Chains A and B, each alone.
Chain A
Amino acid sequence: MDKTFTFTVNGESKTVTTDPERPLLEVLREDLQLTGPKYGCGEGLCGACSVLLDGKSAFSCITAVEDADKKEILTIEGLAKDGKLHPVQEAFLAENAFQCGYCTPGMVMASVDLLNDRPNPTDAEIRSGMEKHLCRCCGFPKIQKAIQRAAQAGR
Chain B
Amino acid sequence: MTTKQQSNEYLEAEYQEPIEQVGYDFGISRRGFVKVLGAGLLITVSAGTVLGQRGGRREMGRVQHLSQRIHIAKDGKITVMTGKVEGGQGARAELTQAAAEELHVPVSQVELVMGDTSLVPDDGITAGSMTTPLTVPPVRKGAAAARQGLVQIAADRWKVNPTDVEVRDGKIIHAASGRTLSYAELAQGDEFGAAFEQAPPADITITPVKEWKILGVSVPRPNSRDLVTGAHKYPSDIVRPGMLYGKVLRPVSYGAKLVSIDLEGAKAMKGVVAVQDDQFVGVAAPTTHQARKALEAIAQSAKWEPAVQPSSREVFDHLRSSVRGDVPKNPFAEQLANAGKVLKQTYHVSYVQHAPLETRTALAEWDDGKLTVWTGSQNPFGCRGELARAFHLPNESVRVIVPDFGGGYGGKHSGEAVVEAARLAKAAGRPVLLKWTREEEFTWAYFRPAAVIDIEAGLDPKGQITSWHFININSGPSAINTPYRIAKVDCRFVPSDSPLRQSSYRALAATANNFARECFMDELAAAADADPLEFRLAHLDNPRLRAVLEEAAKRFNWRERVKQKQPDVGMGLACGTEKNSCVAACAEIAVDREHNRIAVRHVCEVFECGTIINPDNLSAQVQGCVIMGLGPALREEMQFADGKIQNPNFKHYLVPRFNDLPELDIHLLNRSDLASTGGGETPIIAIAPAIANAVFHATGARIRRMPIRLPENVQA
| Chain A interfacial positions (CB closer than 8 Å to B) | 18-19, 21-23, 26, 29-31, 33-43, 45-46, 48, 75-77, 79-80, 85, 89, 92-93, 96, 98-105, 108, 126-128, 130-142, 144
Report whether B230 and A105 are in contact in the complex, using a CB–CB cutoff of 8 Å.
yes
Cβ contacts B282-322/A at 8 Å (1 or 0 each):
00000111000000000000000000000000000000000
Report whether B658 and A85 are in contact in the complex, using a CB–CB cutoff of 8 Å.
no
Stretch from B27-35, B234-242, B336-344, B512-520 contacting the other chain: B234-242
Q: Give the 8 A-B CB pairs with smallest separation, nearest first.
A: A36-B230, A100-B88, A102-B406, A76-B230, A101-B227, A99-B88, A138-B627, A35-B237
Partner of A96, one of B288, B289, B616: B616
Nearest-neighbor residue (CB-CB) of B625 within chain A: A138
CB distance from B23 to the nearest CB of A (A): 28
Report whether B627 and A100 are in contact in the complex, using a CB–CB cutoff of 8 Å.
no
Partner of A99, one of B89, B225, B231, B289: B89
Report whether B234 and A38 are in contact in the complex, using a CB–CB cutoff of 8 Å.
yes
7 additional A-B residue pairs with CB within 8 Å, beyond A99-B620, A138-B626: A92-B228, A101-B228, A101-B232, A102-B356, A135-B357, A138-B656, A144-B658
Report whether A45 and B656 are in contact in the complex, using a CB–CB cutoff of 8 Å.
no
Give A19 to B220 CA distance when docked, in angstroms: 43
Report whether A38 and B655 are in contact in the complex, using a CB–CB cutoff of 8 Å.
no
Report whether A134 and B230 are in contact in the complex, using a CB–CB cutoff of 8 Å.
no
Partner of A39, one of B225, B359, B649: B359
B163: CB under 8 A from chain A? no
Report whether B664 and A141 are in contact in the complex, using a CB–CB cutoff of 8 Å.
yes
Nearest-neighbor residue (CB-CB) of A94 within chain B: B220
Question: Chain A residues with Cβ under 8 A from B661's Cβ?
Answer: 127, 140-141, 144
Report whether B229 and A89 are in contact in the complex, using a CB–CB cutoff of 8 Å.
yes
Give A141 to B657 CA distance when docked, in angstroms: 11
Chain B, interface size category, equals 35 or more
B438: CB under 8 A from chain A? yes
B623: CB under 8 A from chain A? yes
Question: Chain B residues with Cβ under 8 A from A80's Cβ?
Answer: 229
Report whether B649 and A23 are in contact in the complex, using a CB–CB cutoff of 8 Å.
no
Give A91 to B305 CA distance when docked, in angstroms: 55
Cβ contacts B206-226/A at 8 Å (1 or 0 each):
000000000000001100110
Nearest-neighbor residue (CB-CB) of B227 within chain A: A101
B624: CB under 8 A from chain A? yes
Partner of A131, one of B358, B405, B657: B657
Give A130 to B658 CA distance when docked, in angstroms: 7
The residue in A37, A40, A75, A137 that gathers the most chain B C-beta atoms within 10 A of its C-beta is A137
Question: Chain A residues with Cβ under 8 A from B616's Cβ?
Answer: 96
Report whether A38 and B358 are in contact in the complex, using a CB–CB cutoff of 8 Å.
yes
Give A100 to B621 CA distance when docked, in angstroms: 11
Give A85 to B306 CA distance when docked, in angstroms: 54
Nearest-neighbor residue (CB-CB) of B238 within chain A: A35
Nearest-neighbor residue (CB-CB) of B355 within chain A: A136
Report whether A93 and B224 are in contact in the complex, using a CB–CB cutoff of 8 Å.
yes
Give A35 to B226 CA distance when docked, in angstroms: 12
Nearest-neighbor residue (CB-CB) of B437 within chain A: A42
B651: CB under 8 A from chain A? yes
Report whether A137 and B655 are in contact in the complex, using a CB–CB cutoff of 8 Å.
no
The residue in A37, A75, A93, A136 that gathers the most chain B C-beta atoms within 10 A of its C-beta is A136
Report whether B357 and A45 are in contact in the complex, using a CB–CB cutoff of 8 Å.
no
Question: In terms of DSSP, what is the predominant structure of the interface of chain A?
Answer: loop
Question: Chain B residues with Cβ under 8 A from A137's Cβ?
Answer: 88, 407, 620, 624, 628
Give A131 to B650 CA distance when docked, in angstroms: 13
Nearest-neighbor residue (CB-CB) of A96 within chain B: B220
Question: Chain A residues with Cβ under 8 A from B657's Cβ?
Answer: 131-134, 140
Question: Chain A residues with Cβ under 8 A from B287's Cβ?
Answer: 18, 22, 26, 30-31
B255: CB under 8 A from chain A? no
Question: Chain B residues with Cβ under 8 A from A45's Cβ?
Answer: 649-651
Nearest-neighbor residue (CB-CB) of B290 within chain A: A19
Nearest-neighbor residue (CB-CB) of B406 within chain A: A102
Report whether B405 and A100 are in contact in the complex, using a CB–CB cutoff of 8 Å.
yes
Question: Chain B residues with Cβ under 8 A from A92's Cβ?
Answer: 228
Q: What are 21 residue pairs bridging A and B, where the CB atoms are less than 8 Å apart in the complex? A: A19-B289, A35-B234, A38-B406, A39-B435, A43-B438, A43-B650, A45-B649, A75-B230, A77-B229, A77-B231, A80-B229, A96-B221, A100-B87, A100-B405, A103-B357, A134-B657, A138-B623, A138-B624, A138-B656, A140-B661, A144-B661
Contact A48-B658, Cβ < 8 Å, known A22-B287, A26-B287: no
Question: Chain B residues with Cβ under 8 A from A85's Cβ?
Answer: 225, 228-229
B535: CB under 8 A from chain A? no
Give A132 to B650 CA distance when docked, in angstroms: 10
Nearest-neighbor residue (CB-CB) of B441 within chain A: A41
Contact A46-B623, Cβ < 8 Å, known A26-B288, A100-B87, A131-B658: no
Question: Chain A residues with Cβ under 8 A from B625's Cβ?
Answer: 138
Partner of A100, one of B358, B438, B664: B358
Report whether A93 and B228 are in contact in the complex, using a CB–CB cutoff of 8 Å.
yes
Give A18 to B231 CA distance when docked, in angstroms: 26
Question: Chain B residues with Cβ under 8 A from A34's Cβ?
Answer: 230
Contact A102-B407, Cβ < 8 Å, known A22-B287, A36-B230, A46-B650: yes
Question: Chain A residues with Cβ under 8 A from B220's Cβ?
Answer: 93, 96
Give A21 to B658 CA distance when docked, in angstroms: 31
Contact A108-B438, Cβ < 8 Å, known A48-B357, A100-B406: no
Question: Chain B residues with Cβ under 8 A from A108's Cβ?
Answer: 228
B90: CB under 8 A from chain A? yes
Report whether B289 and A142 are in contact in the complex, using a CB–CB cutoff of 8 Å.
no
Give A96 to B617 CA distance when docked, in angstroms: 9
Give A144 to B623 CA distance when docked, in angstroms: 13
Give A42 to B247 CA distance when docked, in angstroms: 15
CB distance from A18 to the nearest CB of B (A): 8
Contact A40-B229, Cβ < 8 Å, known A26-B287, A45-B650: no
Cβ contacts B395-439/A at 8 Å (1 or 0 each):
000000000111101000000000000000000000000010110
